[in-house]
Structure 1
Amino acid sequence: MTRRGLREQVFKMLFRVEFHNVEDMPEQMNMFEEVEECSEKDKEYISNKFHNIVEKIDEIDAAINEVSEGWKTRRMGKVDLTLIRLAVYEMKYEDDIPVKVAINEAVELAKQYGTDESPAFVNGVLAKLA
């Protein structure tokens, strides 16, 4: 699977955090793995990245809240927030992903999954963090 494909799968899994309790996430991961056709290596990558982001979600949200004027994380659309969280994690914790790539990928996913305003919103918040 391509890096973009892996990122999209992490996004789909991370999106579930907004709708399920933490104790439900292992079951959600199992259901996700049953539905998605991925190699074992890809499943492991998706699972590891998902868990790493969830572990740092409070720290990531704090960084987002510092720069998002008038749009704290609790008010953001779920798709936008999930994409921003994913990109912030990549920008702060994954040295092998350039900041511009993390932002661009989040904007591209926002075009696909978000509203008409999502790409500009996601780009604006991430640009302030960059």
Structure 2
Amino acid sequence: MSHGKMTRRGEREQAFVLIFQQLINQNTIEEIIDAAEESAEVRVAEFAAKLASGVEENNAVLDDKISKNTRGWSMTRLSKVSFALLRLAIYEILFEDSIPVSVSINEAVDLAKKYGGSEDAPFINGVLGSIAKELEESHE
């Protein structure tokens, strides 16, 4: 069985799906990956698993960043798509130094366009933009 090399984008999308599923069913990322691999011909890419697990381990830090940068939005009003994508992108921005911040933002916005409602992409773009700016200022 050849799986072909999955692109970074495909791996990121897989990570998003895992994080999204966790918001819905509350299982651990490991349980979700095991179930996916058992039930279907799905191989979860190593990078996707790494991202999703990293998000899971750092939920508190990520959610703190989200709530600080979604002024006037309660976390419960966020769509699950937005929430999962924000967790993923902020994790990349904070912990994956090999990925340029602009790439993390663009990819999250693209996935929001694919999976979210019309408000999700501009909303995510705005939140991630302010987080990126905050980081730049702290590194100067």
Using the size of structure 2 for normalisation, the TM-score is: 0.82
Amino-acid identity (%)? 41
The 2-side partners of 1:44 and 1:31 are apart by: 16
Structure 2 match to 1:27? 31
Q: Which runs of 5+ in 2 are unaligned?
A: 1-5, 133-140
Deviations 1:56-76 (A, max 9, x none): 011100011111111132221
2:56 is the counterpart of 1:43 = no
Q: What is the letter of the counterpart of residue 10 of structure 1?
A: A
Which aligned pairs between 1:71-110 and structure 2 lie closer than 5 A? 71-110=73-112
The 2-side partners of 1:72 and 1:52 are apart by: 24
CA RMSD of aligned residues (A): 1.6
Contact 2:67 2:74 in 1 (8 A): yes
The 2-side partners of 1:73 and 1:36 are apart by: 35
Structure 2 match to 1:11? 16
Q: Which runs of 5+ in 1 are unaligned?
A: none
- How many residues are aligned here? 126
Q: Which protein shows a greater Rg?
A: 2
Using the size of structure 1 for normalisation, the TM-score is: 0.88
Contact 2:29 2:53 in 1 (8 A): no
